């Protein structure tokens, strides 16, 4: 069973839209204290439709916050050398505080090399080896946006993390691995499950909190979850023009103490966390 900090069990749908609105107001106040216009650069290769939508969302919020925004779009046949050259230009541009490379990249480009070309101080996706290492060692750095959003959602609802049993399903470098590390840093006991894990349902049934990020519609079903558990659904699955999560929301919402919907749960927090990371990156660079 999962409790808030007062030892009470509560049942609620976690609204990411409301928390994003609240957090954006707080961020706007922090931005007022900066001595320069914050800058975000997005580097894209190709013209993937989903990527175009995500970049538009980032641009809209960045401009709303008064950020300087650059969108560099390269054709799919761009060479790795050309892309690295552009990233180094952005690394040395004082107008730019944060850089992201929109995924996925074409197969001829080495995503790891590209990501690690970004200066760790401007790595607002938190994917460089330097920032991944800082997360493991629990020192200040830039953390991937979706995991940060999950932690903020849990904290907002005063869901206790210390001493709880948490199961993370999915081991991606963008969500699964970093959220597992963030939770361990908060003294939770974490089991990280993946496609090779046997008898996942037996593991999830003992979890106080389940975070599912596998990209499979309704993967997490009611028979895999104990009563009053917390379910955080990171999945976005499109089917016939409609969005579905990785959790079977309709059959889980009356079992769980808390659950995030799709859409409207974790998603709205991710873009906010990106903008917050831009401000954090500026702050960390000032310290350097």
What confidence tens digit (pLDDT) does each residue in 27-60 have?
999 999 898 999 999 999 999 988 999 999 999 9
Active site residue 125: yes
**Which residue is catalytic, options 23, 44, 58, 248?**
58
* Residues 4, 116: Cα–Cα separation, whole Å: 39
C-alpha to C-alpha distance for 64 and 275, rounded to whole angstroms: 11
Domains 36-119 and 144-267 belong to one CATH topology: yes
137 is catalytic: no
* Residue 212 in this model has a pLDDT that exceeds 50: yes
Q: Pick the catalytic residue: 123, 125, 152, 208?
A: 125
Q: Annotated catalytic, 246?
A: no
CATH class, domain 144-267, is: alpha beta
Domain parsing of the chain, residue ranges: 36-119, 144-267
Domain 36-119 class in CATH:
alpha beta
Q: Which of 23, 44, 97, 102 is catalytic?
A: 102
Separation between Cα atoms, residue 71 and residue 173, nearest integer Å? 24
**pLDDT tens-place string over residues 133-150:** 999 999 999 999 999 999
């Amino acid at each position: 069973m999962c409790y808030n900090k007062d030892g009470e069990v509560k049942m609620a749908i976690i609204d990411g839209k409301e928390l994003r609105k609240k957090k954006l107001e707080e961020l706007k106040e922090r931005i007022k204290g900066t001595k320069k216009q914050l800058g975000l650069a997005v580097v894209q290769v190709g013209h993937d439709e989903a990527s175009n939508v995500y970049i538009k969302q980032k641009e809209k919020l960045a401009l709303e916050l008064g950020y300087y925004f650059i969108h560099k779009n390269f054709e799919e046949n761009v060479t790795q050398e050309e892309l690295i050259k552009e990233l180094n230009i952005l690394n040395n541009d004082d107008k730019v505080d944060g850089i992201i490379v929109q995924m996925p990249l074409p197969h001829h480009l080495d995503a790891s090399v590209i990501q690690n070309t970004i200066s760790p101080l401007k790595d607002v996706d938190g994917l460089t080896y330097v920032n991944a290492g800082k997360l493991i060692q629990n020192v200040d750095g830039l953390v991937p946006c979706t995991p940060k959003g999950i932690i903020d959602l849990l904290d907002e609802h005063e869901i206790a993390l210390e001493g709880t049993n948490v199961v993370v399903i999915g081991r991606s470098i963008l969500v699964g691995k970093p959220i597992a590390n963030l939770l361990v840093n908060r003294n939770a006991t974490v089991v990280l499950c993946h496609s090779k894990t046997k008898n996942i349902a037996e593991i999830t049934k003992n979890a106080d909190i389940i975070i599912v990020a596998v990209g499979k519609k309704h993967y997490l079903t009611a028979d895999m979850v104990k009563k009053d558990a917390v379910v955080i659904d990171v999945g976005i699955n499109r089917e016939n023009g409609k969005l579905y999560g990785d959790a079977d929301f309709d059959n889980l919402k009356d079992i769980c103490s808390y659950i995030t919907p799709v859409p409207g749960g974790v998603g709205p927090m991710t873009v906010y966390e990106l903008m917050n990371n831009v401000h954090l990156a500026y702050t960390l660079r000032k310290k350097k």
